Copies of this chain bind each other. A is one copy, B any other.
Amino acid sequence: MLEQLKQRVCEANLMLVKKRLVVLTWGNASAVDREHRVVVIKPSGLSYEAMKPEQMVVVSLDTGRVVEGGLGPSSDTPTHIELYKSFPGIGGIAHTHSLYATAWAQGKREILPLETTHADHFHGAIPCTRELRKKEIASDYERNTGRVIVERFRTLNPLELPAVLVASHGPFTWGTTVEEAVENAVVRERVARMATETLSLNRSAKSMSRALLDKHFLRKHGKNTYYGQMKN
């Protein structure tokens, strides 16, 4: 079963490159197997060009230690683990330094819901964390990155808002599966870019109405969806 998950995590990482969300080695995707309490994640600093499923690293969800794999895991692994522990409904995470979302993270601004495709996927503004404090950087830095994300979501539902911007760093997205996490990363990058272009035309652009936001999110999610084909 883990072989299959390694395959999917490897493909998700390669998809981030294909969708132009990752340059060099700047990104990582992971999936959690909650039954076996392990996370499967990309190795650290490895080139994407010859990446293979068997190179994916398996780490314990409880201890963070490598339990399988000959390579070291992504340096961002403690961030992923923190999110898996705090957001029980999620199954996969994708982290990138994609151009537009990172610009919003650098600018330390949340991405307002300006248009219907944003509302189709994110039930509100994509939030931005606070900066990490000096001592949060000095020790346990990557784990603290996860903690400021969780702190930001205290009053938010991570399943209705599957993305965040980490200030001065970049975006993380998630989903019920690693494939959904990647799709949410694609959408997040696109709405980030559309929001950037909108601001250049109208610096005081405002969020869409709550009615329109709800309409679009709820026609694709929840009980009364009517977008797409019914799944029998």
How far, in angstroms, from A198 to B196 measured CA to CA in the complex? 9
Q: Does A107 contact B (CB under 8 A)?
A: yes
Evaluate contact between A201 and B201: CB separation under 8 angstroms.
no
**Chain B residues whose CB sits within 8 angstroms of the CB of A205 once the complex forms:** 106-108
Q: Does A63 contact B (CB under 8 A)?
A: no
Evaluate contact between A211 and B71: CB separation under 8 angstroms.
no
**Chain B residues whose CB sits within 8 angstroms of the CB of A211 once the complex forms:** 134, 137-138
Evaluate contact between A75 and B215: CB separation under 8 angstroms.
no
Q: Does A222 contact B (CB under 8 A)?
A: no
How far, in angstroms, from A99 to B198 measured CA to CA in the complex? 10
**Chain B residues whose CB sits within 8 angstroms of the CB of A221 once the complex forms:** none
Binary per-residue interface labels of chain A (30-66) against chain B in the complex, 1 for a CB within 8 Å, 0 otherwise: 0000000000000111100000000000000000000
Closest B residue to A207 by beta carbon equals B168
**Chain B residues whose CB sits within 8 angstroms of the CB of A219 once the complex forms:** 75
List the number of copies, as a whole number. 4
Binary per-residue interface labels of chain A (92-123) against chain B in the complex, 1 for a CB within 8 Å, 0 otherwise: 00000101101111111100001111000000
Q: Does A143 contact B (CB under 8 A)?
A: no
Q: Does A212 contact B (CB under 8 A)?
A: yes
Q: Does A67 contact B (CB under 8 A)?
A: no
Evaluate contact between B75 and A24: CB separation under 8 angstroms.
no
Evaluate contact between A186 and B109: CB separation under 8 angstroms.
no
Known: A71-B229, A200-B200. 11 other contacts (CB 8 A): A46-B228, A99-B197, A103-B194, A103-B200, A107-B202, A115-B168, A115-B169, A131-B209, A137-B212, A138-B215, A168-B209
A residues engaging B (CB < 8 A)?
23-26, 43-46, 71-72, 75, 97, 99-100, 102-109, 114-117, 131-132, 134, 137-138, 141, 168-170, 183, 186-187, 190, 193-202, 205, 208-209, 211-212, 215, 219, 226-230
Q: Report the minimal beta-carbon distance from A163 to chain B, rounded to whole angstroms.
A: 15
Q: Report the minimal beta-carbon distance from A71 to chain B, rounded to whole angstroms.
A: 6
Closest B residue to A228 by beta carbon equals B45
Evaluate contact between A97 and B115: CB separation under 8 angstroms.
yes
